Chain A
Amino acid sequence: MNDELTGILQTILRKKGVTVPEKFDDEMDPIADLGLDSFDLAELAARIEDAYGVDVFEVGYPGTLGEFRKVLKS
């Protein structure tokens, strides 16, 4: 799925200088599969807040991208 969340992840990964996956499927976990560290997560949260107006970590770490999208929809 290509949405703003994907765009945000691509930006973060490109700035880190790591390979950007071709597809971001719902089962991917930003920490385990994309190697995001604490500062990357903080940046992710801030960019999501700016794009969606949502504090995505408010009730904890969503987990997979599918879980992230659920939080963003609600």
Chain B
Amino acid sequence: MKEDQLFWTDENRALFKTRRDLIKDINAVEKIPAVIAEQNPYRQHVLFLAAALNGGDYLLADPDLSDGERMELGLPHNEDVTWQNTTFPEVSGYDDLRLRITQSKNFTIGLFTSGTTGRPKCVRHHIETLFRAPLLSEAEGESHIIGFGFYPSHIAGVLLFMQGLMAGAPMVYLFETPASLTGNGISKHKITDLAATPTYLRALTTSCSGSASDSSPQTTLTGIFSGGEAFDTELGTTLKTTFPSVVCHNIYASTETGVLLISDGATFPIPKNLQSRIRITPDGELQVHRSLCADPEQTLSGGDWFATGDVVESVGEKRVVFVSRTTEMINAGGYKINPEEVEAALRTFPGITDAWVFGRPSRIAGTLVVAEVLREDTADDPLFEEEITGFLKERLQEWKVPRIIRTVDSLDVTATGKKTRRKAN
């Protein structure tokens, strides 16, 4: 029976939900919080879908935000979050669910981004901007199994979820699975399509080519969807070598726009229907017309064009390649980090008088977040790094914490006293 088909499972099948389970869980939702922030991704999906069916305005937040981070985003404490009662008619089945989700009109979900300036913004999406077009046809979807390799409450995870839902493809949650086990996970669950960041994919190919796994994920994998970071041609070659029968899809998407461009490699064609709505400034920055933005009021500061902060080069007729970023935001392994937020946290540590957080080029993660600090007491303290790392983990989400924190004698300052920032690649 179609309704017994798998909808969502985690890697070790501890949580195994069929379509029937999903419908039952959605119908059982009596109240929806205004801020959806669930540790359990399946639970996030259930509340998200219930919210879309119910209508109204909601926010999607990461489940591991500290109190300080919640304040930064203007979010209430957990205890103060308001709840809405559900009034939507019962869902009768998976097809009914999909139809009603696409018809959802008065529903918005706000996702947070630090965008290009570092000041957090809330971008409100409708279903139309979260699901513009299917990337897996429904006919294919019936025989596709998705490896879910993105952070569920960030834009890539939400976009991927919508694709899996609408295609009717079961989704296997692999995001938290370490690289050494992912290859086995792909074989075990017979995953056909893996969606993840280049950093995740690099770690996967590394562990597959090593002695780590003896079962070959090469046999079931036919598609890879990459996004969140720059995709270089070297990665494309490595993926083809490790997974010979695989087709790669490189997705350019953002919290502000949803999915914009798709490529089979590092260069992106600009489709005809978007050519009048995507432009490149003389400085090479890619800009997107307000009609392609999910929330133009929030995203645009006057004018009709959203400045993405991505610098591109034209290659051939209506094709671009991404070369760099214009902003100070660091993109480390797909995570967008505001160096000022991390520096401010470092400066609250007793004994640290100043801090500089920057991105260090990394073969594996694209960019690695590292920091240099000035301390009152510069005595050699071998435990300092562990201490400060622990301190930061209590105040910031783990992926914002610099991986190397060095004590230095002075920070790089220009003649005007401004810290020079090493630009992310």
Report chain B residues within 8 Å CB of A57.
363-364
Whether B368 pairs with A43 at a CB distance below 8 angstroms is: yes
Tell me, yes or no, whether B333 is within 8 Å of chain A by CB.
yes
Smallest CB–CB gap between B280 and chain A, Å?
Answer: 31
23 residue pairs of the A-B complex, CB under 8 angstroms, read A11-B386, A15-B389, A29-B210, A29-B211, A31-B179, A31-B212, A32-B210, A32-B211, A32-B212, A38-B200, A38-B202, A38-B365, A39-B368, A39-B399, A41-B206, A42-B333, A42-B364, A42-B368, A43-B404, A45-B363, A46-B403, A58-B363, A61-B210
Report chain A residues within 8 Å CB of B370.
46
Among A14, A29, A32, residue most surrounded by chain B Cβ atoms (within 10 Å): A32
With A15-B385, A46-B404 in contact, do A39 and B365 touch (Cβ < 8 Å)? Answer: yes
Tell me, yes or no, whether B362 is within 8 Å of chain A by CB.
yes
Report chain B residues within 8 Å CB of A53.
none
Whether B385 pairs with A11 at a CB distance below 8 angstroms is: yes
Whether B206 pairs with A31 at a CB distance below 8 angstroms is: yes
B residues 208-235 touching A (CB-CB < 8 Å)? 209-212
Q: Which 9 A-B pairs have the closest CB atoms?
A: A38-B203, A42-B365, A43-B403, A42-B364, A32-B212, A61-B206, A42-B362, A31-B180, A32-B180
Report chain B residues within 8 Å CB of A55.
363
Report chain A residues within 8 Å CB of B178.
31, 35-37
Report chain B residues within 8 Å CB of A29.
210-212
Q: Considering only CB atoms, which chain B residue lies closest to A55 in the complex?
A: B363
What does the 1/0 interface line of B357-382 toward A look like (CB < 8 Å)? 00010111100101000000000000
Q: How far is the CA of A57 from the CA of B238 in the complex (A)?
A: 14
Q: How far is the CA of A37 from the CA of B385 in the complex (A)?
A: 20
Tell me, yes or no, whether B267 is within 8 Å of chain A by CB.
no
B residues 311-368 touching A (CB-CB < 8 Å)? 332-333, 360, 362-365, 368
> Which A residues are closer than 8 A to B by beta carbons?
11, 14-15, 29, 31-32, 35-39, 41-43, 45-47, 50, 55, 57-58, 60-61, 63-64
Report chain A residues within 8 Å CB of B404.
43, 46-47, 50
Among B200, B364, B389, residue most surrounded by chain A Cβ atoms (within 10 Å): B364
Q: How far is the CA of A42 from the CA of B370 in the complex (A)?
A: 11
Smallest CB–CB gap between A17 and chain B, Å?
Answer: 8
Q: How far is the CA of A39 from the CA of B211 in the complex (A)?
A: 20
Tell me, yes or no, whether B86 is within 8 Å of chain A by CB.
no
Whether B368 pairs with A61 at a CB distance below 8 angstroms is: no
Query: A15-B386, A39-B399, A58-B363 provided; 18 other pairs, C-beta below 8 A?
Result: A11-B385, A15-B385, A31-B180, A31-B206, A31-B210, A32-B207, A37-B179, A38-B202, A39-B333, A42-B362, A45-B364, A46-B368, A46-B403, A57-B363, A60-B209, A61-B206, A61-B209, A63-B211
Q: How far is the CA of A39 from the CA of B199 in the complex (A)?
A: 8
Q: Considering only CB atoms, which chain A residue lies closest to B203 in the complex?
A: A38
Q: How far is the CA of A29 from the CA of B206 in the complex (A)?
A: 12
Report chain B residues within 8 Å CB of A42.
199, 333, 362-365, 368, 403
Whether B210 pairs with A38 at a CB distance below 8 angstroms is: no
Report chain A residues within 8 Å CB of B210.
29, 31-32, 61, 63
Whether A38 pairs with B386 at a CB distance below 8 angstroms is: no
Q: Considering only CB atoms, which chain A residue lies closest to B200 in the complex?
A: A38
Smallest CB–CB gap between B101 and chain A, Å?
Answer: 33
Smallest CB–CB gap between A49 and chain B, Å?
Answer: 9
Q: How far is the CA of A46 from the CA of B368 in the complex (A)?
A: 8
Whether B212 pairs with A41 at a CB distance below 8 angstroms is: no
Q: How far is the CA of A61 from the CA of B204 in the complex (A)?
A: 11
Report chain B residues within 8 Å CB of A64.
211
Partner of B362, one of A32, A46, A50, A60: A46
Q: Considering only CB atoms, which chain B residue lies closest to A56 in the complex?
A: B363
Whether A38 pairs with B333 at a CB distance below 8 angstroms is: yes
With A29-B211, A31-B207, A46-B404 in contact, do A14 and B386 touch (Cβ < 8 Å)? Answer: yes
Q: How far is the CA of A45 from the CA of B370 in the complex (A)?
A: 13
Q: Considering only CB atoms, which chain B residue lies closest to A34 in the complex?
A: B180
Smallest CB–CB gap between B124 and chain A, Å?
Answer: 31
Report chain A residues within 8 Å CB of B389.
15
B residues 382-425 touching A (CB-CB < 8 Å)? 385-386, 389, 399, 403-404
